[in-house]
Amino acid sequence: MNLGTLFKDFHLDKIRLSPSSGMIEISFKPDDKDAAWELYIEMLTRIVTQPLPSSAGDEETALGSVYSLFAVTREILRRRGRGTIQFSMVAIPVLNQVVRPFTAKWHKESLAGAFDGETKRKEFREELEILQEELREYNRMLAQIAGVEDLTNLEQAEGEQR
């Protein structure tokens, strides 16, 4: 499978790769799979993939959780080292092209007091929902890379069956 196809298969069409990068054939080694598993679990238990009900939570904390994906991913890459180059080819574009625009915008907005007003808090939550959908697709991709069953929608699926 090539890198461009992998992103398309998980509806991450927003990711832009150079023509040659998009055609790179990727094959995930055990270190890549372990790194994907680590990030998958981190994301599965954070607001980046879990709903933030309007009656709960705090926008500043949610923004911090989204931003923490950078530190978590860097730590996984540093600790696992050069054996995770294929995983890096997936993780880095998602951070830079999906997560960074959101965090850059909302970090600046939060410094200007955006979360003090209801309108901006509502706008943040609406944009967070869009980001969460993209990151759920990314999390599904991580599950596939890790070779595990995807539990991203486990709780929503159970709720729908009741």
Rounded Cα distance between 119 and 98, Å, is 23
> Which run of H or E residues covers position 5?
helix 3-9
Q: Is residue 141 part of a domain?
A: yes
**Residue whose C-alpha is closest to residue 51's, from 162, 161, 154:** 154
* Domain-located, residue 99: yes
In the 8-state DSSP scheme, what is residue 115? G
As to burial, measured by CB atoms within 10 angstroms (0-12 exposed, 13-18 middle, 19+ buried), residue 76 is buried
Question: Residue 160's pLDDT is what?
Answer: 39
Query: Is 1 inside a domain boundary?
Result: no
Does residue 5 belong to any structural domain of this protein? no
Task: Say what the pTM is.
Answer: 0.86
Residue 61 maps to a domain: yes
- How far apart CA 115 and CA 52 sit, in angstroms, is 15
- Over 90: is that where the pLDDT of 122 sits? yes
Domain membership flag for residue 36: yes
Is the pLDDT score of 158 beyond 80?
no
- The total number of structural domains in the chain stands at 1
| pLDDT of the residue at 26 | 86
pLDDT in tens, 100-109: 999 999 999 9
Specify if 39 maps to a domain.
yes
What is the domain range of residue 52?
A: 29-148
Report if residue 64 sits inside a domain. yes
Q: Rounded distance, CA 59 to CA 57, Å?
A: 7
